[in-house]
A and B are shown apart, each in its own frame.
Chain A
Amino acid sequence: MRSWLAWSSTALLALIGCGPSETGGELVTFQPLASGLVGVHGSTDFDTGSGYRVHLSAAKLHIGAIYLRLGQSNPGSANASCVGATTYGLQVPGPADVDVLSDELQPFTVQGNATSDLDQSAEIWLNGEQESVTSGNGETSGRGDINAIDSTTIVASVAGVARKGDKAFPFEGSIRIGRDRLIPTSNPAQPGQNPICKLRIVSPIPVHIRPEAGGQLLLRVDPRPWLDSVEFATLLPGEDGTTLEIRDVSNGSGPDVAASRNFFSGVTGASADVYQFSWFNPAL
């Protein structure tokens, strides 16, 4: 009997020592940051693929949110859904207006949080803030909605001068993503074929990030490729009559529409050359 009791006591103590066990991974809270890439290289002048020498005087990006997915996204997927409900490993669920000509680290307005799983693709949400949404308890907030049809938020803007030969093309441009950019469905049986959220999400951007406690997410934005395919010579003067305008259109006619589309594609193209994510630990 004594040995039985001794054995029992030993096993009991061993069990007590166990406590809650590992379930794998961890939750990480961090301060997300963004910066421009141009300034890092010391110059805002660059050459485009269309043969222009461009000097940027302003370039800004309004980011609605950032999400990183655990797996690699399939860019060719026909899935109309913009949100895969349970596949995200990192989120920055709030906006930042980023001066992408500055190499200063610019914080987002919200904290980010993540799991310690490996994230392999990133999404940058370019939605606005003006849309109102009624929440479950009946309250209305000025919260953005990736699916809201109408939006007045300027998500990207640029200004500068492009030169080709001896000609100068002062320009400015901006992008909103709203109703006028909706792509009509080609099949009435598929009314949800082209949701507007697809236009607003820059995805998939390849990443290889495993968040860990104490670290921070940094997004560096290089605006130069935004203008890589813009033919500045086709732009029309804006309201002041002197500055050329990259119009905020995606449809319609005119010699400058292609330039507008190319600018939009440059901003919303999921290129790691434009949007570089990294995870760093400031303590190291």
Chain B
Amino acid sequence: MILAHPHMFAQRAASVPRQSSRVPLAFHATSRPTGVLLCIACATAVVCAPGTALAQTTEPPLVTQRVEAVTPPEASGLRRPVQVMLSIVVDQDGQVTTPIVISSAGPSFDEAALAAVKKWQFSAAKREGQPVSSRIRVAFEFSAPAAPVLATGSATPVDPPTALPLGKPESATSGAPNTPSPTEVTVQGATAQRSHGASDFQITVGALRLIPRQNATDFLKLAPGILLTNEGGDGHAEQVFLRGFDAREGQDVEFSVDGIPINDSGNTHGNGYADTHFIIPELIQGLRVTEGPFSPYQGNYAVAGSADYHLGLEARGVTGKVTYGSWQTQRLVLTWGPPSESQQTFGAVEAYRTDGFGPHRSSRRTSAMGQYEIPLPSGATLRIGGQAYATHYESAGVIREDDWRAGRVGFFGTEDPLQGGDSSRFSLYANYDKSGAHSGFSQGVYLVRRATRNREDFTGFLLDTQDVLDTLHGQRGDLIDTSFGAWTLGGRGLGRVSTVMGGLEQSIDVGYQARVDLTHGTQYRDTVPGNIPYRLESDLDSTLTDVGLFADANLRPLSWLAFRGGVRVDSFSFDVLNNCASQGDFDNPSRMRPPTNESCHDQLPNGAHREPIQRSSTGAIKVMPRVTALVGPFQHFNLSFSFGEGVRSIDPSYISQDLDTPFASVRAYEGGVQYAHSLGPVELSARSIFFVTKVDRDLVFSQTAGRNVLANGTTRVGWAGAARAAGSFFDESANLTLVKPTFDDTGLAIPYVPSLVFRDDAALFRDLPWTIGESPLKASLAVGWTFVGKRALPYNEVSEVISVIDANAAVGWRGLELSLAVTNLFDTRYRLGEYNFASDFHSAPEPTLVAARAFTAGAPRGVFLSLSGNLGGQS
């Protein structure tokens, strides 16, 4: 499964003239009632408001001070004008950084242009009222000196400050140099993508980065309805609850990073297991969370939705950050962004270790990521990159409530100290993008190597039953030891064409996403103690392919009406070699060759021989319509109605020969209203969504299997709301989700899933009135609050609520910053995950075989001090 989101175009749009899509930006969007609709016309536009489908809340940078270039002496020999095209980044303070020459007219002309543009001043681009850095192109035209030349360094303020007339050169003054003619603007830090309804959240992290976040998965909380838990340890992927789905570690959420898939197809621990810990949080500029399967770009695992991380590095130069805090936690991050390159060119390394907040909770990891964006002629770009990641971690696992209450195990203790795991990920990728005013093209390839090992024990000494073929034994332990290794090769491509009909732009994207996974997975049961495998439960070699084709149209019959979407077709094929196919598949073995405790027997009933292996293959095609209607005849408001079908490929362990439908399907419906408006310097956006989702074969957690297993059909009905307000010194985001998930056959609630999730992220930031060496001190304060209502548990039990506040305070001066982060500020003792199932950890005189409460502990208060410094960023 491969993602090819529209930002494959958007990210390099700065280099592509696209006049028809530029003009309607911020200049009209908030100025008249129908202006919001113009964003539909610019659905292919580089910038579309992150918080809304139709409304514009993005403003390009404004020139406040302009300095003309000094014509070099060589201009006297010019017989015709020459042009130097520069690409510059306007940072959040309006300063020009990282100017690079896109089109050269010779060294002397280039130097003159560069010297001039560095003196320009801007009012920074804004997204939802918040200053963000942006890239623009500036052209300097030189001709023979027939007009006076401005002195070097002389400034020519623009009065009044105006936006650059994008796409249309300013009227050239006679003589040289001519007035610069800036071209296209891309607001960076958020992918410019076509919205597919109210549940399509294109989130700019921005100042909300200030809120303490443990890892990349934590950024998901910026979208509504997200609860993250983790019973498996620091290096174990978070369990994601999204809109009433228990998506486990990604089995129901399609994860990707800049379009490259993260989900592990065929992972023994869970098909679709998605570990985002390799992503260095400092590189996350934005993410797109689509809750529901409403975009044709969404592929396999997009049942509850999808999340695509957008990486970039705003800080140029070398930035180092050192963190030390509770539980001997130490973290070092180094980032490097060549000043002359775009934010999509970066390198970063991270080293992390911690003892954890209780016994058997230590972890350590290292991660490295690098990407280079190469501007090519004709406005195309080539991005190449790679990453490496490895971690080793311990896990405390679940704790029985009665054991904790009786003092047999500490709240942060463990029932089985043998739990933990390892994980590694290495990848290489390349992506080529090119587009013109009415067409675009993108092609990418990637190669990923994954390896994971997870050791989890939910049940203790419960499942090791005595078989007549086994030598006599007691309970040896239920530790599940899963290993997984995979090579993933994938490609993705996208073509876009647009035209103007009825005075409105119509466009269509056609693309593909293809991947093949060559996987090997095993699952053992290990003794406790000893950690010695005594049974091989699964040993699969799989070749899994997924070829997805999609068409995504943007049709606008009226200026206030747009239909977006189309169809997606995914073709899956499964070739699974089960190396342990005959386990327990007999009842009367040969006296001559007793199988005793062996796994993977080679006998059939009555001693007949069989090979212990068996190959199964099957395939299927799934056609999934996905459409959204956007209606916006109201000032600052628009409505959206969406329908979509999604798919999750089946776990290879369930594959049998010619299995008819190797996947589960989801149907989702929703209606939403979105609001976006500027009130002076404050940008407001909000949305309200009602949704219904039906899954024909859902996955429900099984503690005995240690993962989700197939269950019956389910339905989720709910409401989600989100709002964000951002100004020059604050950024506030809040969301609330209410959902009722039920089984179709019984009408009973799906256990473990939260029905109420609230999240608030707030950040204050501004310069202090004090200066050191003429540079002001800066300060920020950020708070994140998560509130999760009671969750239904089996047997009508309910969990406790979760209410946790994280905070961060920081002071900065120039490139230095000192910050203090406190997680779980009020040291709330809470249960992150709560369960209700049978387990036996030898905590009672006799086996405990009846369902009982268990939990995974949430972290207590942690205090972390960080110091960061930047060098060379302005060179």
Contacts and interface: CB of A to CB of B under 8 A. Distances in A.
A15 B795 contact: no
A217 to B, nearest CB: 12
A21 interface: yes
B595 interface: yes
The dominant DSSP class at the A interface is loop
Contact of A21 (B591, B594, B748, B844): B748
A18 interface: yes
Contact of B751 (A8, A23, A192, A193): A23
B173 interface: no
B847 A135 contact: no
A94 B846 contact: yes
A191 B472 contact: yes
Interface in A208-263: none
A84 B849 CA distance: 9
A83 B465 contact: yes
B608 interface: no
A123 B760 CA distance: 52
Contact of B850 (A19, A91, A145, A188): A91
Interface in B418-450: 418
A67 B742 contact: no
Given A1-B634, A116-B795, A23 B748 contact: yes
Contacts, number: 212
B742 A21 contact: yes
B318 interface: no
Contact of A88 (B415, B593, B850): B850
Given A27-B851, A138-B529, A192 B468 contact: yes
Q: B461, B473, B749, B849 — which one has the most chain A CB atoms within 10 A of its CB?
A: B849
Contacts of A197: 466
B852 A144 contact: no
A145 B719 contact: no
A81 B461 CA distance: 14
Contacts of A129: 845
A187 interface: yes
A134 interface: yes
Interface string A115-130: 1100000000101010
Contacts of A15: 717-719, 738-740
B852 A20 contact: no
Contacts of B846: 64-65, 91, 93-95, 125, 127, 143-144, 146
Interface in A128-183: 129, 133-138, 141, 143-149
Nearest to B470: A192
A150 to B, nearest CB: 12
Contacts of B794: 23-25
A25 B591 CA distance: 47
Interface stretch (A97-105, A106-114, A266-274): A106-114
B704 interface: yes
A69 B719 CA distance: 41
A23 B796 contact: yes
Nearest to A95: B845
Contacts of A109: 845
B466 A147 contact: yes
A26 B849 CA distance: 16
B828 interface: no
Interface string A190-204: 111101110000000
B637 interface: yes
A200 to B, nearest CB: 11
Interface residues of B, number: 79
A24 B845 contact: no
B472 A188 contact: no
A205 interface: no
Contacts of B698: none
A136 B591 contact: no
A78 B468 CA distance: 9
B789 interface: yes
A284 interface: no
A12 B756 CA distance: 12
A191 B853 CA distance: 36
B28 to A, nearest CB: 22
Interface stretch (B106-114, B763-771, B835-843, B858-866): B835-843
B474 A145 contact: yes
Contacts of B528: 136
B591 A137 contact: no
Contacts of A21: 740, 742, 748-749, 755, 792
Interface string A64-99: 110100000000001011111110111101110000
B304 interface: no
B595 A189 contact: yes
Contacts of B462: 83, 85
A27 B842 CA distance: 20
Interface string A1-27: 100100010011001101111111111
Contacts of A149: 472
Contacts of A89: 850
Contact of A25 (B673, B756, B795, B848): B795
Contacts of A115: 795, 850-851
Nearest to A82: B466
B115 interface: no
A281 B159 CA distance: 88
B209 interface: no
A81 B797 contact: no
B591 A188 contact: yes
A8 B690 contact: yes
Contacts of B841: 135-136
Given A22-B748, A23-B751, A189-B594, A91 B796 contact: no
Nearest to B718: A15
Contacts of B593: 189
B746 interface: yes
Nearest to A195: B466
B171 interface: no
Pick from B459, B474, B590, B704 the residue with the most CB of A within 10 Å. Answer: B474
Contacts of A110: 844-845
Nearest to B790: A20
B471 interface: yes
B467 interface: yes
A94 B748 CA distance: 33
Interface in A18-66: 18-27, 64-65
A52 B342 CA distance: 101
Most chain-B Cβ atoms within 10 A of its Cβ — which of A88, A135, A188? A135
A187 B591 contact: yes
B323 to A, nearest CB: 32
B466 A67 contact: no
B793 interface: yes
Contacts of B852: 27, 113
B776 interface: no
Contact of B844 (A94, A191, A195): A94
Nearest to B751: A23
B850 A11 contact: no
A188 B792 CA distance: 49
A19 B469 contact: no
Given A114-B850, A189-B589, 20 more contacts: A8-B690, A12-B721, A15-B718, A16-B738, A16-B756, A18-B738, A20-B749, A20-B792, A21-B742, A24-B794, A26-B795, A26-B797, A85-B463, A113-B850, A135-B842, A136-B461, A136-B477, A143-B842, A192-B468, A192-B469
17 contacts: A11-B690, A12-B721, A22-B796, A23-B793, A78-B468, A80-B466, A80-B470, A93-B845, A93-B848, A115-B795, A134-B529, A137-B414, A137-B415, A143-B846, A192-B470, A193-B468, A195-B466
Interface of A: 1, 4, 8, 11-12, 15-16, 18-27, 64-65, 67, 78, 80-86, 88-91, 93-95, 109-110, 113-116, 125, 127, 129, 133-138, 141, 143-149, 187-193, 195-197
Interface of B: 414-418, 457, 459-463, 465-475, 477, 528-529, 589-591, 593-596, 634, 637, 639, 673, 688, 690, 704, 717-719, 721, 738-740, 742, 746, 748-751, 755-756, 789-798, 836, 838, 841-853
